[in-house]
Structure 1
Amino acid sequence: MSLTPSNIIELGMKAPGFKLMDTITDHLITLEEVQGEKGTVIMFICNHCPFVKHVNEEIVHIANEYRQLGFGFAGIMSNDVNKYPQDNPEMMKEHAAKHQYSFPYLFDGSQEIAKAYDAACTPDFYLFDSELKLIYHGQLDDSRPGNGIHPNGRDLREAMDSVLNNRPVSKIQKPSIGCNIKWKE
């Protein structure tokens, strides 16, 4: 496990488009199909990372709660499945069912989408506004495996709550920390 922070990305970036296979439904899904009326959360996650495992339950809670409030969600898995077969599409489908993902769990086999988003780690969270401009990129919350803090999604929730309450999202954003994305050589 390599402890990796998310990259610093300039707010205001337009969300890169995609058309990726949803491992839950076996259908191709585009960014526009997951876009929410209020905003869109794109999460780079995977099956095997202990940092993702630590927050999986909270990710599901947040998606279930905020989808009803007008936010769209998608999880994207970009690891090299030849080196990490536990992240392959079949295992992604099983993982999504086990954790009751209510959002598409997309397979980025070419890793082009992770590169377009400048994703660095799992988990890596991006919140885009209704026009698909980046307004938050950072951690879910201060919890980490073994630090004794229970996941509550505070940072991401505060950003989405700001959108709901027509307040600006804080410019103070802590990078996410997790396992590095497993790039192909």
Structure 2
Amino acid sequence: MAVSPPVCDFGALWHDFRLPDTDGRTCSLSDIAGPRGTLIMFICNHCPYVQSIIDRVVRDARQMQAAGIGVVAISANDADEYPQDGPDQMRAEAARHGFTFPYLYDETQAVARAYGAECTPDFFGYNAKGELQYRGRFDISARTPGPSGARRELLEAMLQIAETGKGPENQVASMGCSIKWKTA
């Protein structure tokens, strides 16, 4: 079932975290925050919406990082119910696609809940002060990749945030698979 998160709550502050990466090292927000902005994205391995854009995400993350934007991916899916989203598979996925950013596992799902993440992919773009400026889609892609020349909405927004501290007023919400929450 496709889920679409709410529009950007401009100015909402980011939430600190400490999560393990795919090599078992602990990574915090201060470890990844960029001097000109930070992108926190909630993704997972099995979601067709993520798979349709993952190579483009890696391409654009390189450009963001070169512009002083910190980038991190977090998987919060219940790996007991969805073992393909567990840490070992995350490590393989990061290697397969050449991630240049940490891929963290939110086993307790506390970080995803703090951010209000709802789907994969769900993008949270912050300015250098840690204020939310973008909560939109990557591009026009859905379960299948959009055209190769599709407008790079996330990249454009993050570069604008890096330059001005403000995100675009008009944003199209991301769409993807619901986060696979643990049952109580």
Return the TM-score normalized by structure 2: 0.94
Partner of 2:43: 45
Classify the secondary structure of the residue corresponding to 1:138.
coil
Partner of 2:56: 58
Give the distance between the partners of 1:12 and 1:116, measured in 2 at CA. Answer: 15
Instruction: Label 1:34 to 1:178 Cα distance change in 2 as closer, same or farther (>3 A).
Output: same
User: 1:164: Cα distance to partner?
Assistant: 3.9
Instruction: Label 1:91 to 1:129 Cα distance change in 2 as closer, same or farther (>3 A).
Output: same
- Could you report, residue by residue, the CA deviation over 1:93-144 in whole angstroms, capped at 9, with x for unpaired residues? 0111011111000000000000000000000001100011101111001111
Matches within 5 A, 1:108-147: 108-146=106-144
The root-mean-square deviation of aligned C-alpha atoms, in Å, is 1.6
Partner of 1:22: 21
In structure 2, stretches of 5+ residues that fail to align are: none
User: 1:8: Cα distance to partner?
Assistant: 3.3
Give the distance between the partners of 1:147 and 1:58, measured in 2 at CA. Answer: 9
Matches within 5 A, 1:1-185: 2-23=1-22, 25-146=23-144, 148-150=146-148, 152=150, 154-166=152-164, 168-185=166-183
User: 1:145: Cα distance to partner?
Assistant: 2.4
Instruction: Label 1:178 to 1:133 Cα distance change in 2 as closer, same or farther (>3 A).
Output: same
Instruction: Label 1:103 to 1:177 Cα distance change in 2 as closer, same or farther (>3 A).
Output: same
Counterpart residue type for residue 114 of structure 2: A
In structure 1, stretches of 5+ residues that fail to align are: none
User: 1:7: Cα distance to partner?
Assistant: 2.8
Counterpart residue type for residue 45 of structure 1: I
Give the distance between the partners of 1:167 and 1:112, measured in 2 at CA. Answer: 27
Give the distance between the partners of 2:2 and 2:40, measured in 1 at CA. Answer: 21
Classify the secondary structure of the residue corresponding to 1:183.
coil
Counterpart residue type for residue 14 of structure 1: L
Give the distance between the partners of 2:34 and 2:40, measured in 1 at CA. Answer: 11
Give the distance between the partners of 2:109 and 2:151, measured in 1 at CA. Answer: 26
Counterpart residue type for residue 77 of structure 1: S
Classify the secondary structure of the residue corresponding to 2:52.
helix
Give the distance between the partners of 1:19 and 1:152, measured in 2 at CA. Answer: 35
Return the TM-score normalized by structure 1: 0.93
Give the distance between the partners of 1:139 and 1:167, measured in 2 at CA. Answer: 19
Aligned length: 183
Counterpart residue type for residue 33 of structure 1: D
Give the distance between the partners of 1:52 and 1:153, measured in 2 at CA. Answer: 17
